[in-house]
Structure 1
Amino acid sequence: MDIVDAAAGAIASEPRRRVVERLADGPATVSALAELLQVSVPAVMRHLDRLEEGGLVRRTKSGRVVTVELVPGSLDPLVTWAMQHRLFWGNQLDRMVDHLTAETDGSDS
């Protein structure tokens, strides 16, 4: 699995996107994330496993407290891919609009 696929899969779930949004404000404990999502700690750990597999977060343990933080730049490959495809599709749609406008202008004569 490439890095774009891993990141996209990791944020394919709304709860995992909420975790990423929260972590954009800074590190949080697993307990705080479970409270945010209103799920059990084991449930949030499964979400964190997926985010970690996608390379988006890392966990550190100090005693019994597990803290989670975003990996800086981890979404960059996904953003780059999306921007490249946005430009492609934007250009395609612009050409279609130009074509339809030209057809409409030509039929009025």
Structure 2
Amino acid sequence: MIRKTMTVLALGLAMTAAGANLALAQSAAAKAAVDAAKAAGTVGEQADGYLGIVAGGDAGLRASVAEINTGRAAAYRDIAAKTGVTPEAAGQATAKQLYSRLAPGQYWKPLDGGWVKK
């Protein structure tokens, strides 16, 4: 029980650091493009911790999403190495934090479903 509590605590601390790492891992242009697309309903957050295209989106937007997702993947691998969880678990834990920061009207995709508007 103590070991599980320590793992959860370490994962929580790593998730806080992940927020900073995610911000650093993306270019300002990619972030601006994705933020605008999230506000427009073209891009949404997924329960696996990655961004997804809800509908439409040109090649430039898709490249911005891919750039940010690449940075997130690296952050999740780093968190996993430090905490002993899988990168998938790190991504899902981060997704919970990302969901809490979604503005009303933005999109979210649960692990077992389609896009829903918050």
**What TM-score does the superposition give when structure 1 sets the normalisation length?**
0.32
